Structure 1
Amino acid sequence: MLRLIDAGHRLSRWLVWLGGALILGSAVLVTVEVFVRKLFNMSIAGADEISGYAFGVATSLGLAFALFERAHIRVDALFLILPRPLRIFLNFFGLALLIGFAGIVTWMASGLVADTLEHGSRSITPMRTPLAIPQIPWLAGWMFFVLCGVLLFVGSLFATLTGNAAEGERRIGVKTLEEQIHDETA
C-alpha cells in the first residue's frame, strides 16, 4: 500500500509540473495577446478561452499533489492542543469529507463529459472548441485526486490500526511547525 501511495505522490508531482507549465503557457499567450493588441490593434482569437481551459485543467492536476503535501486549507488553530486520539479522528473525518466532496464533483463531472461526448458539444465562441478536449484532462485530474485520497485514507488507516499512528498522522495530519519550517527553508 505504501508503494502505491508513494507512486501516486511521484505521479502527482509530474502532474503539478504539467499544470504549472499550462499556467505559464497561458500567461505567455495572454501577454503576447496584450502586446499584439496594443501594438498592432489586432487580437489573438481565443487567448482568453485557451487560458481558461488551461487554468481548469491545471487546477485539477494540482489537487492530488496538494493532498500529498498536506497543503489544502485547514482551520487548525486549536487542533494541536487537542488530545491525540481526537486529532487522529478529526484527520480521518476531514479526509473522508474531502474525498466525499471530490467524489461528488468527479461523479458530476463525469456526467458532464459523457453529455459533451454524446452531443458533440462545442464552445459558443468563435473557436468552436470541442469541449471534450479540455474536459477530459480536467476530469482525469479529479479522478486521480479521488484515487489518491482513497489510497491515503486506507494506507493511513491501516498504519494507525496496526499501531503506527505516527505514520498515519504524518501522511494525513496537520504539518508540524518543524515540517513547515523545513518546507520553507528547503
Structure 2
Amino acid sequence: MKKYCKFIYAFPLIAALLAHTACQANHPQIDNSTVKQLDINRYMGKWYEIARYDHPFERGMSHVYTEYSLLDNGKIHVVNKGLKNGKPKEAIGKGKQPHPIEYPGRLKVSFFLWFYADYYILELDEDYQYALVGSSSDNYLWILSRTPEMPKAQLDGLLQKIIQRGYDVSKLIFVEQ
C-alpha cells in the first residue's frame, strides 16, 4: 500500500515534468535578450509599424504608428494611431524604463490603469532608424521604422535576425502604410 500511495503523490509531479518537456519541444526557446545600451531620448519620436504578430488590440489595423515622448518625471507618453475599417483609432498610454542601468532595453507600457506589459527592444539600429520589439514571451513581435517603408536589404537583414532568435517569421503581418 505504501508504494502505491507514493506513486499517487509522485504522479502529478511526473505528469507536470513530462508536459513541460513536451511543451519545450514544441516551442523552442526564443532569444528575447534586449539591447545593452539605449539612449531613451533618441528612442523618442515617431515609429511606423512595418510588421507585427497578430493580436486582438491591433487586429485589422493599417497605417499604424506610435509616438513616444519623454515626460519631465521620466515616464514616457505613448500614443498609438492607425486606421481600422478606414476610421482613425487612437490609444493613449504610458511607459517606463524600470531598470535603466541593468536592463536599458526592457521597458513597460500600459494602456489601462496600472496593468503594464513588457516592451523589450530586441534590436536597434545604431542610428535609431529601425527597431525590433518583443516581450518576455514569443507572443508579441513588432518591426518598427522611422519611415513608413524599410529598404529591402535592411528588412531582409532584420528578418534573418528574427529567425536566428527563434521567432516564427511566417506569423508576421506586414502592415499597410
- TM-score, normalised to structure 2, is 0.24
More strand as a share of residues? 2
- TM-score, normalised to structure 1, is 0.24
